[in-house]
Copies of this chain bind each other. A is one copy, B any other.
Amino acid sequence: MTRQELFTQITRKGSFLCVGLDPDVDKIPAHLQTEEDPIFAFNKQIIDATRNYCVAYKPNTAFYEAHGLEGWKSLEKTQHYLRTTCPDHFLIADAKRGDIGNTSAMYAKAFLEKMDFDSITVAPYMGEDSVKPFLTYKNKWVILLALTSNKGALDFQNLLTGNHLLFAEVIRKSAEWGTSDTMMYVVGATRAEMLQEIRKLIPDHFLLVPGVGAQGGSLQEVAKYGMNKQCGLLVNASRSILYAGSGTDFAEKAAAEAQALQLEMSKLLKP
């Protein structure tokens, strides 16, 4: 998917919502636990209930790998279901990979070719040759970790290196490895006040913003400081949507939660 195509979807739907598919079996409603594949059964209903309110889906690989082979099956089925029923949605493999060149090339193959996601989240610590192999696929994206939403982000990402904080140096340097048509950055909603500074470095790039919802970030603040002319934001919510309900009506509750976010977003998108 190209940047223009993504922006078209955002405009059409009045939404820049990404739904994170982090299916925790301990939180999946009881009536789904007897399904052959509870994770996929859960995802399927969440997808059906939310697709009109979001422009992107983001399966988090950890929640599938935790179940070994069966989990990997659920991940492939989820990706396939998304590709089939949501052809206009942007699909993110939230995998946080990154390794030496020949190994990153294998991860790129896994998620951008074998499973045909549009993008993958990548960790920057190992530098340029760990990121570049993900940038060799046409119309596919690297979403590089910059400033994450968790407490531990302060341990290293906020250290001063020369004239920049580390996360800003990561953005500054890595922006030369690709373009705003091939790279996005993860910036946590819990750090909305930093978005102004980040926009000075990368005015045009899309930002993937986790941390709204369960982690407490504010959508208003994110839009105020992070939005650009082509929206430039994908705001992710996972737990607040997935576990909005815990009964047989969980999908309706999820839809209501996604719709509420979409409504708020549609207002923020108006000039």
Contact = CB atoms under 8 A, between A and B. Distances in A.
Interface of A: 22, 24, 60, 62-63, 65-69, 71-73, 76, 94, 96-104, 106-107, 109-111, 114-115, 123-131, 145, 148-157, 159-162, 166, 169-170, 173
A36 to B, nearest CB: 16
Contacts of A124: 125, 156
Nearest to A130: B152
B159 A166 contact: yes
A170 to B, nearest CB: 6
B150 A129 contact: yes
Contact of A103 (B62, B100, B170): B62
A194 to B, nearest CB: 16
Contact of A160 (B153, B155, B161): B161
A62 B125 contact: no
Contacts of A173: 155-156
Copies of this protein in the complex:
2
B123 A63 contact: no
B170 A151 contact: no
A22 to B, nearest CB: 7
Contacts of A154: 127
Given A127-B154, A159-B161, 8 more contacts: A22-B103, A60-B106, A62-B110, A65-B107, A68-B72, A131-B152, A159-B166, A166-B166
Contact of A109 (B66, B127, B145, B150): B66
Contact of A126 (B22, B62, B66, B145): B145
A150 B162 contact: no
A100 B148 contact: yes
A163 B131 CA distance: 28
B104 A127 contact: no
A148 B104 CA distance: 14
A102 to B, nearest CB: 8
A49 to B, nearest CB: 23
Contacts of A126: 123, 145, 148, 150, 152-153, 157
Top 9 A-B residue pairs of the complex, sorted by shortest distance between their CB atoms: A127-B152, A127-B155, A62-B106, A65-B110, A159-B161, A66-B106, A129-B152, A66-B109, A100-B150
A69 B62 contact: no
Contact of A153 (B127, B150, B155): B127
